[in-house]
Amino acid sequence: MKEILENIIQNKNKQFFLIAGPCFAESEDVCNEVADYVSTVCNKLNIPYIFKASYRKANRSRIDSFAGDDDISRLELISNIAKKHNLPVTTDIHSDEEAAIAAAYVDILQIPAFLCRQTSLLVAAAKTNKVVSIKKGQFMSPEAMEHAVEKVRKSGNDNVWLIERGTTFGYQDLVVDYRGIPTMQKFNVPVIMDCTHALQQPNQMSGVTGGRPDLIPTIAKAAIAIGTDGLFIETHPNPSKALSDGANMLPLHELRPLLEKLCKIREAIQ
């Protein structure tokens, strides 16, 4: 587990790395199924793998959307996945107080896109000495993310990553500007392409975010072709029954053939 993360931090892998898991840590069965399948595939393809699941969903469109229940039990579930499968794990946090709490259970603290400018949150995450992975806000330019990186570094933590997740395009869609990836790589940080949230269709009248999971392979292939360091893909055995973000997730059985194609692209560009 530590070796996987250390190799990513020190950029020892010519291969891209993968952050993947269900949107929410909804059950032990789902999390174990995903972690077991993805880790097996990644081991065969020599792809460093980080398991991801949220323990709380603080940013929901509607008040009746599922947001979580017992934070600690969900964090324990994520931590148990790390121990059982020998994997680094990550989850997102939403407030200063959550940083230290979540840091006791995970290896990487993810800052949600809407909170990427929240100075106190970035500082609190930095002070845990965990890797701090910041999603670029839909409203932010790639160049402006250098300030978010500096907030973490100047708080005494050099382990910071950036995640591209699309830019607001009108009111109900996002677009990916791939020029932003090499721009953010100039800050000397790993840059990750979020292939699922970049395909969200937010602000729907129904109050339920839509998505285009059929285009996940397109986004992923383009990202690998231009030299992105890592990919972020939410996946689920049955997205239609997922408690959160089912409209954006890749069905689990579709992940292996996609990763096999992506490895061939990475090999070709090298």
Kindly report, residue by residue over 214-258, the tens digit of the pLDDT. 999 999 999 999 999 999 999 999 998 888 777 788 999 999 999
Q: What separation in angstroms does the CA of 98 have from each of 119, 125, 152, 174, 235?
A: 14, 9, 16, 29, 25
CB 76 within 8 A of CB 55: no
Burial of 229 (0-12, 13-18, 19+ CB in 10 A): buried
**pLDDT-based confidence at 207, cuts 50/70/90?**
low
Number of separate helices (H) and strands (E) present in the chain: 9, 13
Cross-strand partners of 17: 230
Average pLDDT over the chain, rounded to an integer? 91
**pLDDT-based confidence at 4, cuts 50/70/90?**
confident
Give φ, ψ of 98 to 5 degrees. -70, -25
2-8+15-269, CATH topology level: TIM Barrel (3.20.20)
For 156-184, the pLDDT digits (tens) are: 999 999 999 999 998 888 999 999 999 99
State pTM to two decimals. 0.92
Flag whether pLDDT at 64 surpasses 60.
no
Task: Give the pLDDT of residue 270.
Answer: 83
Length of the chain: 270
CB 176 within 8 A of CB 198: yes
**pLDDT-based confidence at 202, cuts 50/70/90?**
confident
**Alpha-carbon span 172 to 268, nearest angstrom:** 36
Task: Give the pLDDT of residue 242.
Answer: 83
Flag whether pLDDT at 152 surpasses 80.
yes
The domains of the chain are located at 2-8+15-269
> Cα 112 to the chain's mean position, in Å?
9
Flag whether pLDDT at 13 surpasses 70.
no
User: Tokens at residue 38, please?
Assistant: 């993805």
Residue matched to tokens 């790395």: 17
Flag whether pLDDT at 204 surpasses 70.
no
**Alpha-carbon span 27 to 40, nearest angstrom:** 20
